[in-house]
Amino acid sequence: MFDGPFDVFALIIAIAAFLVAIKASSQVAELRRRLSSLEEMFNAQRRVQPPPLTPTWEQAPATATAAAEPPPLAPEAEPAPPPVTEAVSPPPLETSTEAAAPPPLPAPAPGFEERLGTRWVVWIGGLALALGGFFMVRYSIEAGLVGPGVRVFLGGLFALALLGTGEWTRRKESISTIQALPIANIPAILTAAGTAVAFATIYAAYALYGFLVPATAFVLLGLVALGTLAAALLHGPALAGLGVVGAFVTPVLVSSGKPDYWALYIYLAIVTAASFGLARIRLWRWLAVTTIVFAVLWTFVGLEPELQVAPHTFHVIAGFTLAALLVVCGFMFGPTIEDGEIEPVSSSSLGAYLFAAMIIVLSSAHADLALIAFTLLVAGTLFVAWRAPAATGALGAAAATVFIVFAEWAVRANPDMLVLPGGPLPGVGPAAIDSSVTLHLVMAAVFAAGFGITGFLAQGRSNSAVIPVVWSAAAVATPIAILVTLYTRIAHLDRSIPFAILAVLLAAAFGAATESLTRRETRPGIMISTALFATGTLGALALALTFALEKGWLTITLALMSLGTAWTSMQRPIPFLRWLAAIFAGIVTARIVYDPRIVGDAVGTTPILNWLLWGYGLPAASFWAASMFLRRRGDDAPLRMVETAAILFTALLAFMEIRHFATGGDMISPPSLLEFALQVCVTLAMAIGLERLRLRSHSIVHNVGAIALTVIAELISVFGLLILENPLLLSSVNVGGLVFNLLLLGYALPAVLMLLLSYAVAGHRLVAYANTIAGGALVFALTYVTLEIRRFYHGPVLLYGGTTGAEQYTYSIGWLAFGVVLLGVGILVNSERARLASAAVIALTILKAFVIDMSTLTGVYRALSFMCLGVVLVAIGWLYQRILFRRQVAPPPAPQTGS
């Protein structure tokens, strides 16, 4: 139909198709040769061991049809009639014990010369004949040698000559004793070339020159199609493949300056019918698939802004109807199949034409005729899948194409079509009752009702477990997807009470379906289908809350949905409900990643009692409660996901509230000593709680969560408190009063919490893990003592000012006193860890005395420093000797008295 580069493209396609056919045919020949060799070996071995005595009519067909036709459209397709062959009589029972003759060796594979002379030359010759006829017609047109009538006559004469020659050679070979090669059948190739030329001639007479009225063209094309069908029945699959390729490529090779899409698609409908009919009679799956691929590719012709919708819709409707009648197994004239089996070709054939209809809708900017045709095809898919379970897989394609059509309509860059919640903008957009919106609303109602009702009624109709699940999945997903797209288009993602009401009604319908299915007797797939409808109920309720509530409340309600789903899973032990609770938890988590403040700038300035408390606290409480419900029925992946969300939201609640409190509501200001101190204290407290909880729950999530919180607390302690916001190193923060100040909160309290955490993990984790935490407690306690002494000498700002001798001496006394206190505690509670900590502090004090005090202190302070250190060390030695490691002195032996 098109001049220019399409001719070259079509020629390349034709040559590539022939090359692929040659390769496939060679492989088939090799397989047949090997099968014949195996059959001869089997017959030879059968003479040694006689087969059981069975009737002849049971043995002969098994041998004669061992290498029958290619795979049928379905595993249980109707068998082809057995060929007329002589009955093979069973061999007589042999009583002799003589060894049978060895089986004959298999015939050698054909060499290159044999392949070239007997196969490739024949194929290339057939291709040359067909292309020669096409190019002769083109040359006569371009050179103006003969008139249109003569061209058509010569084309028909050439086609008849090829067909006659093919039939003559076939009969000559059948009369003679020469057997044609199955992959280089000269009669089949000549007949295929004649068929392709006949197609081209009739199509040119109708579309190019107008010699034929549509009725005559239909009759002639139908006769050629039937002739191709009959010839393929005689000549085998080679003719069918070449005929189909030639028929679909003919409109490209015989082109016209002005395309006539009606003529094209009527022609393709006849070709498709003939091809599907041949595929049905011979049960050739490959032929049906090839026809569908070519037919769908022809849909893309003419997809332009000024698209002719009518002929394109006719093409997809005709192809869909033919596929349903002839290809779908178990429906009308299609092959038979075992009940309850989903057949891929049956499902994909309908799905392919649905895809083509969707492309027409999108390319035509949702033209009314295209939408109506698409609706008819979706309805036809539901009907066919209802009657033929083999096509149930097409429901997924139908649901997907429906969603794509509505989603594209919703997000298309056309602001004039948007309708806001308060109505259309005056003078800008159309009203909600305009034709485009109205038609889409009607389609939405039809699709939602069609998928929902049929999906519910399909439960219990099949013995298969997969088919009812596919129906229920389509019944739940399609209405929800349609509702979301309509909300996006009409309400513009804003609050909409009408859409919330629709979502509640949809949830009620799904809930009623769930209750009805729970009361039915156990059938294959009923549990999963019930879970899917229950999922739809909760999903529709979540949508209702989304449509009716603001963003912050939506986060809360989705978390409550997780809690409700977990509780429902206890009442209705449907496994998928546990996963649904985890899915809701994941959605809420993704929501806070998008906006951690939940409600944007409207968090509020009141400490603690602000939107963060509700936005994080209520979800955290919901997830903790949901995890308790889920744990009653086992420890699995959904429970761990919900427990992770509970820990995450609890930690985020603490961190976000601390940040809000420390920054006065300015969530983007830099951190401070107060914020780091509160974060460390709260994180350590949560880690202690999780350590206690994991001993009772034995949950891996609680175990990992406790370790993660401990690591986070240690990192904030080291980098935040000891380095970045350390008032003695980098920060000029005002620490406050003399005793009750930030030092108490940032160093003393974390030291106590670290010590408690080390005792909480002692005996339950590695000794090194507990000792590391205890070491952190010692470091922070010593840091607090040091900074508190600094605060006494320098006031609330510790960064500035020199260190006097009295201050340096006080450091030594303070460290020494701290070591003595640790030693006393270790002695009182008999704690080796406390005594070792005391030894470490005193060793540090000794090091300071000899390195710092000796060089910086003068006069009385130096003397007092070493005097106090000596007294303390002597006292410590006395304590160790007299109390800790006291040696009992053995009493002297009693004097011996003489007798």
Contacts with 496 (C-beta within 8 Å, 6 or more apart), sequence order: 421, 487, 490, 547, 548
Over residues 213-234, mean pLDDT? 65
Encoded amino acid at 476, one letter: V
Mean pLDDT of 440-451: 91
| Structure tokens given for 140 | 């006569």
3-state DSSP assignment of residue 158: helix
Determine the pLDDT at residue 781: 95
pLDDT tens, residue by residue, 859-883: 666 666 666 766 666 666 655 555 5
> Tokens for 865?
């420093």
Tokens representing 247 are 């028929």
Quote the tokens at residue 424: 């259309």
Q: Per mean pLDDT, which range of 67-71, 538-542, 658-662, 851-855 is the poorest? A: 67-71
Q: State the pLDDT at residue 693.
A: 94
Q: Is the pLDDT of residue 688 over 60?
A: yes
pLDDT digits (tens, 9 = 90+) for 113-170: 444 444 454 555 555 555 665 565 555 555 555 556 666 666 667 766 666 666 666 5
Q: List C-alpha distances in Å: 718 to 267, 394, 677, 723.
A: 80, 60, 11, 7
Percent of the chain with pLDDT over 70: 66
Q: Which residues contact 837 (CB under 8 A, 6 or more apart)?
A: 774, 778, 822, 826
pLDDT score of 525:
81
Given this model, what pLDDT does residue 70 score? 42
For residue 887, pLDDT over 50 is answered with no
pLDDT at 25 over 60: no
For 694-742, write each residue's pLDDT tens digit: 999 999 999 999 999 999 999 999 999 999 999 988 888 999 998 899 9
Q: How confident is the model at residue 604 (pLDDT cuts 50, 70, 90)?
A: confident
Task: Give the pLDDT score at 270.
Answer: 83
The pLDDT tens digits of the residues spanning 239-285 come to 666 667 767 776 775 555 567 788 888 888 888 888 888 888 888 88
pLDDT band at 596 (very low <50, low <70, confident <90, very high): confident
- Rounded to whole angstroms, the Cα distance separating 599 from 279 reads 62
- Out of 197-211, 427-441, 767-781, 861-875, least confident range: 427-441
The Cα 896–Cα 608 span in angstroms is: 85
| pLDDT: which is higher, 166 or 292 | 292
Q: Which of 183, 178, 170, 190 is nearest to 119 (CA)?
A: 183
Per the CB < 8 A criterion, the answer to whether 564 and 552 are in contact is no
The most distant pair of C-alpha atoms in the chain lies apart, rounded to whole Å, by 161
Which whole number is the average pLDDT over 362-375? 89
Percentage of residues in the chain having pLDDT higher than 90 = 28
Residue 534: what pLDDT?
Answer: 83
Predicted confidence at residue 309, as pLDDT, reads 86
pLDDT of 139: 59
Summarised one tens digit per residue, pLDDT across range 802-829 is 888 888 878 888 888 898 888 888 888 8
What's the pTM?
0.60
Q: What is the mean pLDDT of the chain?
A: 76
Q: Which of the four pLDDT bands, split at 50, 70 and 90, describes residue 773?
A: very high
pLDDT computed for residue 254 by the predictor: 53
Q: In the structure, what pLDDT confidence band is assigned to residue 24 with cuts at 50, 70 and 90?
A: low
* Residue 512's pLDDT band (cuts 50, 70, 90): very high
Res. 305 pLDDT band, cuts 50 70 90: low
- Assess whether pLDDT exceeds 60 at residue 376: yes
Residue 680 has pLDDT above 90, yes or no: yes
Of the two residues 385 and 228, the one the predictor is more confident about is: 385
Q: Are 761 and 773 in contact (CB under 8 A)?
A: yes
Span of 71-75, 189-193, 842-846 with lowest mean pLDDT: 71-75
- pLDDT recorded at residue 69: 42
Picking from 383, 381, 386, 361, the residue whose alpha carbon sits closest to that of residue 373 is: 361
Task: Say if residues 337 and 76 touch (Cβ distance below 8 Å).
Answer: yes
The answer to whether residues 537 and 545 touch, using CB atoms and an 8 Å cutoff, is no
Q: What is the pLDDT of residue 67?
A: 36
Instruction: Note the pLDDT of residue 430.
Output: 41
> Tell me, what's the pLDDT at 64?
34
pLDDT of residue 68: 38
What does the alpha-carbon distance between residue 424 and residue 436 come to, in Å, rounded to a whole number? 14
Q: Which of 335-344, 410-419, 669-678 has the lowest mean pLDDT?
A: 410-419
The pair phi, psi for residue 727, each rounded to 5°, is -65, -10
Contact 593, 654 (CB under 8 A): no
Q: Find the range with the poorest average confidence among 192-196, 406-410, 474-478, 823-827.
A: 192-196
Asked whether the predicted pLDDT for residue 3 surpasses 70, the reply is: no
Helices (H), 283-331: 285-297, 309-326
DSSP 6-75: HHHHHHHHHHHHHHHHHHHHHHHHHHHHHHHHHHHHHHHHHHHSPPP---HHHHHHHHHTTT-SSP-SST
Q: Please say if the pLDDT value at position 106 is more than 60.
A: no
- Helices 368-387 and 344-363 pack at an angle, to 10 degrees, of 170
